């Protein structure tokens, strides 16, 4: 009996030891798991030490190279916070910091100007963040400095392209009505402090950036083209390359790769067949022997359809063939397209955050007008915009009044430059086109018979008359004028030359926007207000009865210039820069058609 107990005791000891070992091992794994899931913590005194070093002891140079632009404002801001971080949660970026970095990237991506965000340093330091308090606090201070710079630019309307043009300079006023209203650095810092106090830092960053769906969709496209550029795999196709369905060429795999990256070539059931060739970084060398009979070198129908998609997005002839114009657009480097997209993103800053449930949107670069209603297109039509000497300005106003069967008071510049030579040749031109010649005598308007004027003595400098064209079929404004008060005499109107809408390029007016379907637009805007049905509109016009109608509710109208935008199907659209407004790195963008 005793011998049996003696034999069992070592076994119990071994079992107990094993159990203790298992428990210790479990505790060890639990400790390791806890350490992995525990966020490293930066003690306040440590944060204070290194932030004081950046802001005071290091001559305000951060990360060894960046001299802070707003050091005098930043140091007291952090002093009041006991030097506790705003953008860093110990050693990690907060959501607000990540959003700020995204905004800084997309704002600076067009290289339109020197923005001063010190992005290269910020990107480098954030990409290698670790549990080093000196590095984390450097990122913190750099982000605050960049935020103040960005907020100053955003709040003081310094991020608005397409301004300052001289086309309509006669009535031009400063974008800043009162220079004294500029938002100061102190106000920005106070705004930052208040948003932190309210726990609304994320919201503050968002409010300084357009939130329109169109802006956010372009953000996705910008990131797409930056990724293509950063991949290092993009290179242009040969300048003399021309292809159509059924042909074979060593560059077909690269063309397929390009179109797949741009989103025109959808991945299909046979995508595995071309995977190897699409993953090639370099094209086959000229001296390299390739077997063109292999399927990846065939310009097949699927690739032709993808090319048609690309052509349609760029408003090219959608032949599905690789021609010179298509090649020109394909060979624009993705970083330049990213710049173009980023600049177009800024154009959303011209618009209010709320566009209005019902509004008129004109995209000059697309020669198109849309009447929007509840997010849907209620009406769509072509437009004619200002010519290259009288470019239509970007504007945001409200249509308040319609004028049916309008008269036209001819601007002096048009009267002396365009009409005077015709009048000299034949004074009957005025009567034939319905113009009245008016002069002032003792402050009173008087009509003048054109045949009583010695036109040989009338010059552009000496033209003491006004010309007013009566309502009628020859009236340059056509049948309707859509008025929105502005200081540049710009409005929407009909035209006496509707055949011009058949042209592809329609930068032809003297600045105003001519609309293709004016009566339908008037009907939609009036919506039967005070009995103004389509029949009543037509009757007033047909009788040449000039009538002004005040809208019951003003309708916002936006004259915009988007050479890139994302349509309702989520597809990136690209157009020619007819006004040469897309500035890439301080110079006009290349016209791809001429490549």
Nearest to 334 by CA among 231, 457, 425, 415: 231
Q: In whole angstroms, give the CA distance from residue 389 to residue 510.
A: 8
Q: CA 534: distance to chain centroid?
A: 37
What tokens were used for 513? 């926007």
Of the listed 168, 249, 350, 493, which one is catalytic? 493
Half-sphere exposure of 528 (CA within 13 A, CB side): 0
Contact 551, 402 (CB under 8 A): yes
- Distances in Å between the Cα of 232 and the Cα atoms of 139, 333, 338, 340 are 28, 11, 15, 19
Contact 138, 60 (CB under 8 A): no
Q: In whole angstroms, give the CA distance from residue 384 to residue 501.
A: 7
The string over 361-398, giving b where at least 16 C-beta atoms fall within 10 Å of a residue's C-beta and e elsewhere, is: bbbbbbbbbbbbeeeeeebebbbbbbbeebbbbbbbbb
* Catalytic residue check, 24: no
- Distances in Å between the Cα of 359 and the Cα atoms of 154, 553, 581 are 25, 11, 25
Of the listed 70, 249, 397, 512, which one is catalytic? 512
Residues 6+ apart with CB under 8 A from 455: 423, 424, 427
DSSP per residue over 498-515, as a string?
GGGGGSS--EEESSSEEE
What tokens were used for 587? 């110079």
Contact 399, 525 (CB under 8 A): yes
DSSP per residue over 463-507, as a string?
---EEEEPSSTT-TTTTEEEE---TT---EE--S-GGGGGSS--E
Reduce the DSSP state of residue 574 to 3 states and report it. Answer: strand
Q: Which residue has the tokens 């939609």?
A: 524
Q: In whole angstroms, give the CA distance from residue 38 to residue 60.
A: 33
Contact 204, 190 (CB under 8 A): no
Nearest to 495 by CA among 381, 327, 377, 338: 381
Reduce the DSSP state of residue 377 to 3 states and report it. Answer: strand
- Distances in Å between the Cα of 204 and the Cα atoms of 75, 193, 207, 355, 493 are 21, 11, 5, 20, 41
SS3 of the chain: helix, strand, coil, percent, to 5: 45, 15, 40
Angle, CA 231 vertex, CA 225 and CA 234 arms, to 5° = 75
Which residues are annotated as catalytic?
493, 512
């Amino acid at each position: 009996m005793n011998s049996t107990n003696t034999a069992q005791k070592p076994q119990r000891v071994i079992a107990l030891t094993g159990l203790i070992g298992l428990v210790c091992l479990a505790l060890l794994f639990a400790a390791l798991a806890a350490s992995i899931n525990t966020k490293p913590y930066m003690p306040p005194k440590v944060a204070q030490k290194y932030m004081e070093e950046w802001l005071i002891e290091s001559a305000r140079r951060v990360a060894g190279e960046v001299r802070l632009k707003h050091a005098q404002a930043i140091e007291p801001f952090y002093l009041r916070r006991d030097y506790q971080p705003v953008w860093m949660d110990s050693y990690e970026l907060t959501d607000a910091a990540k959003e700020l970095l995204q905004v800084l990237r997309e704002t600076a991506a067009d290289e339109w100007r020197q923005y001063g965000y010190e992005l290269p340093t910020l990107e480098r330091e954030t990409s290698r963040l670790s549990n080093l308090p000196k590095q984390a606090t450097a990122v913190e201070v750099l982000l605050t400095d960049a935020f103040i710079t960005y907020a100053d630019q955003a709040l003081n309307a310094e991020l608005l392209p397409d301004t300052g043009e001289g086309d309509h300079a006669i009535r031009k006023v400063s974008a800043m009505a009162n220079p004294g209203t500029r938002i100061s650095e102190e106000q920005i810092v106070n705004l930052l402090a208040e948003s932190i106090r309210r726990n609304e830092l994320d919201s503050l960053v968002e409010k300084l950036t357009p939130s329109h769906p169109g802006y956010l969709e372009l953000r996705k496209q910008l990131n797409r083209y930056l990724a293509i550029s950063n991949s290092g795999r993009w290179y242009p196709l040969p300048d003399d390359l021309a292809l159509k369905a059924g042909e074979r060429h060593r560059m077909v795999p690269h063309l397929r790769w390009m179109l797949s990256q741009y989103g025109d070539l959808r991945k299909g059931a046979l995508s595995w067949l071309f995977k190897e060739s699409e993953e090639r970084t370099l094209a086959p060398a000229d001296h390299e022997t390739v077997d063109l009979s292999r399927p990846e070198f065939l310009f097949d129908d699927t690739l032709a359809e993808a090319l048609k998609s690309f052509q349609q997005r760029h408003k090219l002839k959608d032949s599905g063939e690789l021609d010179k114009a298509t090649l020109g657009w394909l060979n624009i480097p993705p970083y330049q397209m990213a710049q173009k997209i980023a600049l177009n993103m800024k154009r959303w800053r011209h618009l209010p955050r709320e566009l209005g449930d019902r509004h008129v949107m004109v995209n000059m670069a697309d020669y198109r007008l849309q009447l929007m209603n509840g997010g849907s297109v209620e009406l769509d039509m072509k437009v004619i915009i200002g010519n290259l000497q009288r470019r239509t300005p970007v504007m945001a106003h409200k249509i308040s009044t319609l004028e049916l069967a309008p008269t036209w008071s001819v601007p002096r510049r048009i009267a002396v430059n365009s009409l005077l030579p015709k009048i000299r040749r034949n004074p009957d031109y005025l009567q034939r086109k319905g113009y009245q010649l008016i002069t002032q005598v003792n402050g009173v308007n008087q009509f003048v018979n054109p045949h009583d004027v010695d036109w040989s003595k009338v010059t552009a400098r000496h033209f003491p008359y006004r010309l007013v064209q009566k309502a009628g079929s020859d009236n340059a404004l056509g049948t309707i004028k859509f008025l929105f008060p502005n200081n540049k005499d710009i409005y929407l109107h009909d035209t006496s030359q509707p055949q011009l809408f058949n042209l592809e390029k329609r930068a032809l007016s003297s600045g105003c926007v001519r609309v293709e379907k004016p009566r339908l637009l008037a009907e939609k805007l009036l919506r039967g207000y005070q009995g103004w049905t389509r029949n009543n509109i037509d009757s007033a016009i047909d009788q040449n009865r000039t009538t002004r109608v005040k809208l019951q509710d003003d309708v916002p109208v936006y004259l915009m210039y988007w050479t890139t935008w994302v349509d309702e199907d989520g597809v990136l659209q690209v157009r020619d820069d007819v006004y040469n407004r897309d500035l890439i790195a301080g110079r006009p963008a290349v016209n791809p058609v001429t490549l």
